[in-house]
Amino acid sequence: GEYSHRVDLKGGDEMTQLAEEFNELTGRLQTTEEVRRRFVSDASHELKTPLASIRLLTDSILQAEHMDDATAREFLGDIGEEAERLTRITEKLLTLTRLDTAPPVERTAVDVKRVVEKVEHMLAPLARAVEVSLVCDLEEGAWVWATQDDLYQIAFNLMENAVKYNLPGGMVRVTLQGQGDAVVLCVEDTGVGIPEEDLPKIFDRFYRVDKARSRAAGGTGLGLSIVRDTARQHRGTVTVRRREPAGTCFAVTFPRCREKGGEQP
C-alpha cells in the first residue's frame, strides 16, 4: 500500500523504540486509508441504488407504448422519492465529511433542555402518527459547551430512531440529568430492539439491522455514525444497551459546563 515503508533498525534501545513507533504509526495510517476507501465504496453503492431506480422508472415511462396519466404520475412520484433519498444521503455524507475535516464552529454554553424540547416539538406529529408516546423528563441546568446545531442533530437522530423503530402503543422516554461533572442524555424506547450481536456494529457507517425497515422509514444508515462522531467532537461518549423486556436504550454523556456564559470546560 501507500504506507508500506518499514524501518528495521538494530542497535541502540532508543533507535529500536523509534523504529517500533514508526512501524506502529504506519500501520495506523494504513488502517485509516482502508477505512476511507471502504467508506467511498460503500457511499458509491448507496448512491447507485436510487440512481438505478430512477433510471428504470424513466425508461419505463419513455418506452411505454401507451401509459395513462395516473400510472405516469405514480412513476413520477416514485422518481421524486428516490431523488429525495439521494438528497438525504448526500446531506448526511456532507455532515460526516465536515465532522472529519472541519474544526468545530461557534461553541457556546448550550442549555440541552431547550434543545431536546425543540426536538420533542418537531417529532410530536410523527410520534402521534405511529401511536408512540414521547415522554421527556428534563432537568434544568444541564449546560454543555457545544455547537447548538450539533446537539440538536444528536438528540434528533436518537429520538427519531426511537420513534421509527417502535411499535404502535409503544413509548419513548427521554431523560436529561446532570451527574457531577457530566450531563447525561438518555433515549429509551420500547421498540423492536437490536440483537446483542448487532450492538457493536450499529455506529458503523451504513450499517442497518433491518435494511427493509430502515429503507421504508427513509433511513440511510448514517444517523448513528453522525451521533457518534458529533458526540466525540464535543468530548462526549455514546453507549447503547438492550432494554428489558424490550427495546433499546442510548445514553450520551458530555462534560458539563456549569452555567450560562460559563467558561469552556
Cell numbers for 53, please give them.
431506480
Measured from the CB atom, the residue of 38 and 114 that comes closer to ligand ADP is: 38
Of residues 86, 122, 186, 209, which one binds ligand ADP by CB under 6 A? 209
**124-163 positions binding ligand ADP, by CB under 6 A:** 157, 161-162
248 near ligand ADP, rule: CB under 6 A: yes
- State how far the alpha carbon of 24 is from the alpha carbons of 11, 16, 19, 30, 152, in Å: 19, 12, 9, 10, 38
Q: C-beta of 245: minimal distance to ligand ADP in Å?
A: 14
Which residues, in sequence order, are CB contacts of 222 under 8 Å at separation 6+?
89, 92, 93, 95, 96, 205, 206
User: Does residue 210 belong to the site contacting ligand ADP (CB under 6 A)?
Assistant: yes
Select from 208, 228, 234, 256 the one that contacts ligand ADP (CB under 6 A): 208
Closest CA to 236 of 144, 149, 137, 110: 144
Distance between CA atoms of 40 and 42, rounded to whole angstroms?
6
The gap from C-alpha 254 to its chain's centroid, in whole angstroms, comes to: 17
Q: Which of these segments, 4-12, 24-32, 37-45, 222-230, binds ligand ADP (CB under 6 A)?
A: 222-230
Residue 83 CB, shortest distance to ligand ADP, in Å, is 17
Report the residue from 220, 229, 256, 257 that binds ligand ADP according to the rule CB under 6 A: 220
Secondary structure (3-state) at 188: strand
User: Pick from 191, 229, 252, 254: which binds ligand ADP (CB under 6 A)?
Assistant: 191
Contact region with ligand ADP (CB under 6 A), list: 59-67, 68-76, 105-113, 213-221? 213-221
Shortest CB 249 distance to ligand ADP, Å: 9
Going 219 to 221 to 227 to 230, the CA torsion angle's sign is negative
The set of residues, in sequence order, having a beta carbon less than 8 Å from that of 237 and lying 6+ positions away, is 231, 252, 253
Residues 6+ apart with CB under 8 A from 52: none
Residues in contact with ligand ADP, counted by CB under 6 A, come to a total of: 22
DSSP code for 248: E
Q: Rule CB under 6 A: say whether 219 interacts with ligand ADP.
A: yes
Binding segment (CB under 6 A) for ligand ADP, from list 21-29, 55-63, 135-143, 184-192: 184-192
Helix 223-233 to helix 69-101 angle (10° resolution) is: 20
Answer whether 234's CB lies under 8 Å from 254's CB.
yes
Judged by beta carbon, residue 111 or residue 170, the one nearer ligand ADP is 170
Judged by CB under 6 A, the chain residues 75 through 104 that form the site for ligand ADP are none
**Shortest gap between Cβ of 194 and ligand ADP (angstroms)?**
5
- Can you give the binding site for ligand ADP, defined by CB under 6 A? 157, 161-162, 165, 189, 191-194, 202, 207-210, 214, 219-224, 248
